[in-house]
Amino acid sequence: MGEITVSAQDMDHLLRDPSSAYGTPYQRAYTEVAETHRGRPVDEIVPLLRAAADAALLGFTRADFAEQAQAISSGAPYKLRVRVTR
């Protein structure tokens, strides 16, 4: 299970918010990678996740990307604990 801390004002960077003008939240990018890269090597998935996190201005660790990529590769569920700050 991964963990990330996000400010309340930046939650739309992580999760889709229909009222937000923010581009592509990480949740959507993760889902797209998961749909198109299941069964692919972890080393191929990590750069895609890193690029999505960079675009969303989110700070995941190297270990987080590895865990997420492993879940996508194997088709396993991935749980992310989100801490929201003010």
Mean pLDDT, residues 49-78: 96
Residue 85 lies in a domain: no
Residue 63 lies in a domain: yes
DSSP per position, the chain? -EEEEEEGGGHHHHS--TT------HHHHHHHHHHHHTTS-HHHHHHHHHHHHHHTT----HHHHHHHHHHHHHT----EEEEEE-
Residue 32 lies in a domain: yes
Residue 8 lies in a domain: no
Residue 6 lies in a domain: no
Residue 20 lies in a domain: no
Residue 57: per-residue pLDDT: 92
Residue 39 lies in a domain: yes
pLDDT digits (tens, 9 = 90+) for 9-18: 999 999 988 8
Mean pLDDT, residues 64-84: 96
Number of domain units in the chain: 1
- What is the pTM assigned to this prediction? 0.91
Is the pLDDT at 21 greater than 80? The verdict is: no
Domain region containing 29: 25-77
Residue 42 lies in a domain: yes
